[in-house]
Chain A
Amino acid sequence: MMPSILALMPMLVIGFGALALMLAEVLTDAKTGLAVGTAVVLFTAAAFACAGWMVGPENLGDAAVFAPWLVFDRFTLFFEVLLALSGALAALVAGGYLREHGIDRGEFYAILSFSTLGAMMLAAAGDVLMLFVGLETMSIGAYALAGFRRGSPKSAEGALKYFLLGSFAAALMMFGFALLYGATGHTDLAGLHNALASESLRSPSIVIALALVLAGLAFKVSAVPFHMWTPDAYEGAPTPATAFMAASVKAGGFAVLLRVLLTVFGDERSASWATGWPPVVALLAVLTMTVANLVAGRQESIKRMLAYSSIAHAGYLLVGVVAAIRAPAQAQSAVLFYLATYSVSTIGAFAALVLCGSRGAEVVSYEDLAGLGRRHPAVALPFAFFILSLAGMPPMAGFFGKWFVFKAAMDAGLHGLTVIAFINSVIAAYYYLKVFVFLYMREPAAGAPIAKPMWSGEVVTAIALCAFFVLLLGLAPGAVLDAALAVGGAG
């Protein structure tokens, strides 16, 4: 009884925590504490997930009695920790940002928590229906967060596009699963896998279903050409929401991508190198990396640049996903590790961006960063730090993420793909570098509005935590890497 409750605890904590946050918002005047409260709730959930990890999912007993559609393995637990931490960091950033920009409405935190819960359900889903519920819980929250700046037409536009296209993609995916159900009579992932693996099944609808599901998944991880919504939504959303979308929503997307591709479509025929999804995903990876990196260099807005950067990172991750079909344990753990490094780096970058600007004097374009390194070194330094990590500079976390993914791809024999990814990471240095040029080597143009840094304990805490994780994953990646390896081939 007790261990099985432990398995559910992370989700229960977040669910009831979010309810409590809602009540706290309307029943008390304690607005300022909400961000910290959310962070506490999410950190608690992460702690429970860690406890579950230590007990070991195999000892968690009859969790299936309570939640038959959820799978509690190390894969789930890894994502629970990652998602809870990302959500908590984003909530802390929001604490400073929303107050500063006068959109301090409490529902942000409840939506963020529910969305995190959805992402966890997505990672834990063992059944198509659960998967869909998780997907929508996560996505609807994300749509709402993207449109949180109600007064801003940009925010509304981005959110509407995200919502409509997201619904479109979800419908495609659901249709795909419906076809699968029609062909196999299964909705649970394991059952689907077994059914697809049997030689006797030859229905063309499965092939169509694979295409549809792949399209839906590609949208969630914003792979080219399913990426078009990303820059608009990221740019329009309030920055903490952008950070949340870039880290948690993307991590949730990759969780389900790995789960579906490696579990449901992991059989010899679906994952065939000539006829199945691996060549398609490989092409997606190449397109995603190349287009995103090239277009990112053309951006004027920092947030759009970071949006394209996040698309490019999805491309590197897809390389790992392709490799996972040949070397499951190694490549999948590389993807998980990469997600961890990417999440903390990107949240850190957005948090630092938040700190660089204040109400009415936000950092929007590169120009706004000009000379910041000289005027406010304490604010410029963290931004530069996280940008270096995103660029993959050792000994920051980003370097090891790339190292392990590329290494896994090499070991899987994907030499061409690895070289393309390498070249892309070289190209990417160019636009990351631009940030440096403006931070440290430019003076603002005469008469230009100058971004004023803000001060917020929450944001500084978030930055400190992110920096800690970036350095931890860079200087002592052992523990997290071992954890990612322990997840192993369980997908």
Chain B
Amino acid sequence: MHVQTYAPMFMLFVAATAIATLFFTLATVLGPSKPSAEKSLPFECGSDSDGAQHVRLSVKFYLTAILFVVFDIESVFVYPWAIQFRSLGWMGLASMMGFLLVILVGLVYAWKKGALEWET
């Protein structure tokens, strides 16, 4: 196991955490804190909030989200392929075209089935 190859990743991780922590700490420590009843109210863009805390979202939201995930994953596959494009050769191209074709058919299917229409 070559731990050192992962070193940059670890460093990035540590740096991100450190910076985030630093800013929060600084803001808490340095910022003035004068709580009042008015300030403690839930704030919703100027209007009074009402209704339950948990709102049932339309199922269409999940549908869209899942479709998003599918195409997101697609791009995750395409990136490494693009980097290795030359070494994979024609076989690699054919494979990726097959993969994209499947995704494309899926898109057409979802579209025609009306999965992308919000208003129905």
CB of B108 within 8 Å of the partner chain: yes
- Least Cβ–Cβ distance between B108 and chain A, in angstroms: 7
A sample of 12 more A-B contacts (CB under 8 A), given A22-B109, A27-B112, is: A19-B101, A19-B102, A19-B105, A22-B105, A22-B106, A23-B105, A23-B109, A25-B109, A26-B109, A26-B112, A26-B113, A27-B108
Ordered by A's residue number, 7 sampled pairs between the chains whose C-beta atoms are within 8 Å are A19-B101, A19-B102, A19-B105, A22-B105, A22-B109, A26-B108, A27-B112
- Least Cβ–Cβ distance between B28 and chain A, in angstroms: 42
Chain A residues, CB < 8 A from B112: 26-27
Chain A contact residues: helix, strand, loop or mixed: helix
- Scoring B102, B105, B112 by chain A CB atoms within 10 A of each residue's CB, the highest score goes to B105
- Least Cβ–Cβ distance between B8 and chain A, in angstroms: 27
Of residues 74 to 92 in B, which have CB atoms within 8 Å of A's CB atoms? none
Number of A-B contacts (CB under 8 A): 16
Of residues 1 to 48 in A, which have CB atoms within 8 Å of B's CB atoms? 19, 22-23, 25-27
- Least Cβ–Cβ distance between A481 and chain B, in angstroms: 38
- B: residues with CB less than 8 A from A are 101-102, 105-106, 108-109, 112-113
- A: residues with CB less than 8 A from B are 19, 22-23, 25-27
The 5 A-B residue pairs whose C-beta atoms are closest, nearest first, are A26-B112, A19-B105, A22-B109, A26-B109, A26-B113
User: How far apart sit A477 and B106, CA to CA, in the bound complex (Å)?
Assistant: 43
Residue of B nearest to A19 (CB): B105
Chain B residues, CB < 8 A from A23: 105, 108-109
Chain B residues, CB < 8 A from A22: 105-106, 109
User: How far apart sit A41 and B8, CA to CA, in the bound complex (Å)?
Assistant: 51
User: How far apart sit A27 and B105, CA to CA, in the bound complex (Å)?
Assistant: 11
User: How far apart sit A27 and B109, CA to CA, in the bound complex (Å)?
Assistant: 9
- Least Cβ–Cβ distance between A29 and chain B, in angstroms: 12
Residue of B nearest to A22 (CB): B109
User: How far apart sit A27 and B108, CA to CA, in the bound complex (Å)?
Assistant: 9
- Least Cβ–Cβ distance between B14 and chain A, in angstroms: 28
User: How far apart sit A26 and B113, CA to CA, in the bound complex (Å)?
Assistant: 7
User: How far apart sit A133 and B7, CA to CA, in the bound complex (Å)?
Assistant: 32
User: How far apart sit A22 and B112, CA to CA, in the bound complex (Å)?
Assistant: 10
User: How far apart sit A403 and B101, CA to CA, in the bound complex (Å)?
Assistant: 48
Residue of B nearest to A26 (CB): B112
- Least Cβ–Cβ distance between A454 and chain B, in angstroms: 28
- Least Cβ–Cβ distance between B21 and chain A, in angstroms: 34
- Least Cβ–Cβ distance between B117 and chain A, in angstroms: 13
Chain A residues, CB < 8 A from B101: 19
Chain B residues, CB < 8 A from A25: 109
User: How far apart sit A481 and B110, CA to CA, in the bound complex (Å)?
Assistant: 45
User: How far apart sit A271 and B114, CA to CA, in the bound complex (Å)?
Assistant: 53
User: How far apart sit A22 and B113, CA to CA, in the bound complex (Å)?
Assistant: 10
Residue of A nearest to B113 (CB): A26
User: How far apart sit A26 and B110, CA to CA, in the bound complex (Å)?
Assistant: 9
User: How far apart sit A22 and B101, CA to CA, in the bound complex (Å)?
Assistant: 13
Chain A residues, CB < 8 A from B106: 22
- Scoring B101, B102, B109 by chain A CB atoms within 10 A of each residue's CB, the highest score goes to B109
- Least Cβ–Cβ distance between A1 and chain B, in angstroms: 12
- Scoring A19, A23, A25, A27 by chain B CB atoms within 10 A of each residue's CB, the highest score goes to A19
- Least Cβ–Cβ distance between A437 and chain B, in angstroms: 47
Chain B residues, CB < 8 A from A27: 108, 112
- Least Cβ–Cβ distance between A28 and chain B, in angstroms: 10
Chain A residues, CB < 8 A from B105: 19, 22-23
Chain B residues, CB < 8 A from A26: 108-109, 112-113
User: How far apart sit A22 and B106, CA to CA, in the bound complex (Å)?
Assistant: 8
User: How far apart sit A22 and B109, CA to CA, in the bound complex (Å)?
Assistant: 7
User: How far apart sit A440 and B12, CA to CA, in the bound complex (Å)?
Assistant: 77
- Least Cβ–Cβ distance between B54 and chain A, in angstroms: 22
Residue of B nearest to A27 (CB): B112
